[in-house]
């Protein structure tokens, strides 16, 4: 599947100047980024590994399926590239098509091969916020709840909403940075569990002390959560 500016759903990149920038960026993706990039996914439960990316491209983040980069000349756009062998590109394009425009979500400006060009969302993931001991205002949680409700109204099923897939902006607004699993039909409790952990653990214990949590503690919680979930499924037979 190939999608470009001309497709209906791909958001117009506002002004002509911006369109020119987008075209330059796409040329640079093909001529500089993709030929030099070394990206691999060793395990679907661990972040992809970027072995090499050449300047002026910068790595912004990694997930278990993809890595996200930006070019210093177009800092408001990001390029999400799926690692070889990891599925999900066409589903993510379809989610952006259904999602339309909403301030808590990114927008897709271009999608082809195994990558998407997206609007950059500025903020800190809640995972990093906990690591840094930053206060997470309740408004962030409310904004994300509303955004997920909006996604449901667009016939999508919010899925895989964990701490690396949601962010808070510097103005204290909640953002949803990864919508790639929203076509999955099975229920997903991650966000409601994260909210419980926020109300029952984070607010009473950490919001007062601003205690930074080391990454290994956060990863241990994630890992134990996954094992606990599998165990619950096993004993309930679901």
When CB distances to ligand ATP are compared, the closest residue is 63
Provide the minimum distance between the beta carbon of 77 and ligand ATP in the complex, in angstroms, as a whole number.
Answer: 9
- Show the beta-strand stretches assigned E in the chain: 38-40, 49-52, 57-62, 66-71, 74-82, 108-112, 115-119, 124-125, 166-168, 174-176
Residue 182 in contact with residue 81, Cβ under 8 Å? no
Judged by beta carbon distances under 5 to 8 A according to partner kind, the member of Mg ion, ligand ATP, none in contact with residue 41 is none
Judged by beta carbon distances under 5 to 8 A according to partner kind, the member of Mg ion, ligand ATP, none in contact with residue 159 is none
For ligand ATP, give the closer residue by CB, 61 or 137: 61
Residue 155 in contact with residue 184, Cβ under 8 Å? no
Among the listed residues 41, 74, 114, 165, the single contact to Mg ion using CB under 5 A: 165
Which contiguous run of DSSP H or E holds residue 234? helix 215-236
Residue with the two structure tokens 């509303």: 146
For ligand ATP, give the closer residue by CB, 141 or 190: 190
For Mg ion, give the closer residue by CB, 92 or 178: 178
For ligand ATP, give the closer residue by CB, 16 or 52: 52
Q: Which two tokens stand for residue 47?
A: 């972040």
For Mg ion, give the closer residue by CB, 26 or 116: 116
Judged by beta carbon distances under 5 to 8 A according to partner kind, the member of ligand ATP, Mg ion, none in contact with residue 118 is ligand ATP
By CB under 5 A, residue 63 contacts Mg ion = yes
By CB under 5 A, residue 181 contacts Mg ion = no
Binding site for ligand ATP (CB under 6 A): 60-66, 68, 78, 80, 106, 118, 120-121, 125, 160, 164-165, 177-178, 180
Query: Hey, is 199 helix, strand or coil?
Result: helix
CB atoms within 10 A of CB 88: 16
Contacts 24+ apart (CB under 8 A), 136-142: 136/168, 136/198, 136/202, 136/207, 137/168, 137/172, 139/172, 139/173, 139/174, 140/166, 140/168, 140/172, 140/173, 140/174, 141/174, 141/195, 141/198, 142/174
Provide the minimum distance between the beta carbon of 75 and ligand ATP in the complex, in angstroms, as a whole number.
Answer: 10
Asked if omega into 67 is within 30° of 0 (cis), the reply is no
By CB under 5 A, residue 125 contacts Mg ion = no
- Segment interacting with Mg ion (CB under 5 A) among 58-66, 83-91, 184-192, 202-210: 58-66
Judged by beta carbon distances under 5 to 8 A according to partner kind, the member of ligand ATP, Mg ion, none in contact with residue 37 is none
Provide the minimum distance between the beta carbon of 74 and ligand ATP in the complex, in angstroms, as a whole number.
Answer: 13
- Residues in contact with Mg ion by the rule CB under 5 A: 63, 165, 178
């Amino acid at each position: 599947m190939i999608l470009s500016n001309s497709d209906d759903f791909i958001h117009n990149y506002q002004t002509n100047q911006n369109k020119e920038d987008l075209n330059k960026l796409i040329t640079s993706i093909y001529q500089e980024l993709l030929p030099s990039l070394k990206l691999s996914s060793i395990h679907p439960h661990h972040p992809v590994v970027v072995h090499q990316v050449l300047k002026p491209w910068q790595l912004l983040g990694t997930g278990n399926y993809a890595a996200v980069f930006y070019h210093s000349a177009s800092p408001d756009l990001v390029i999400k590239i799926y690692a070889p062998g990891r599925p999900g590109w066409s589903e993510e394009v379809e989610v952006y098509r259904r999602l339309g425009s909403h301030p808590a979500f990114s927008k897709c400006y271009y999608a082809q091969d195994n990558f998407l060009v997206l609007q950059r969302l500025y903020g800190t993931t809640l995972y990093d916020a906990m690591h840094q001991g930053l206060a997470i205002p309740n408004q962030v949680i409310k904004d994300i709840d509303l955004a997920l409700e909006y996604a449901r109204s667009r016939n999508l099923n919010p899925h895989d909403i964990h701490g690396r897939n949601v962010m808070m902006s510097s103005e204290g607004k909640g953002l949803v940075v990864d919508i790639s699993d929203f076509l999955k039909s099975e229920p997903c409790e991650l966000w409601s569990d994260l909210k419980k952990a926020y109300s029952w653990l984070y607010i009473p214990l950490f919001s007062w002390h601003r205690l930074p949590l080391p990454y290994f503690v956060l990863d241990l919680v994630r890992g134990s959560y996954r094992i606990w979930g599998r165990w619950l499924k096993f004993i309930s037979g679901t």
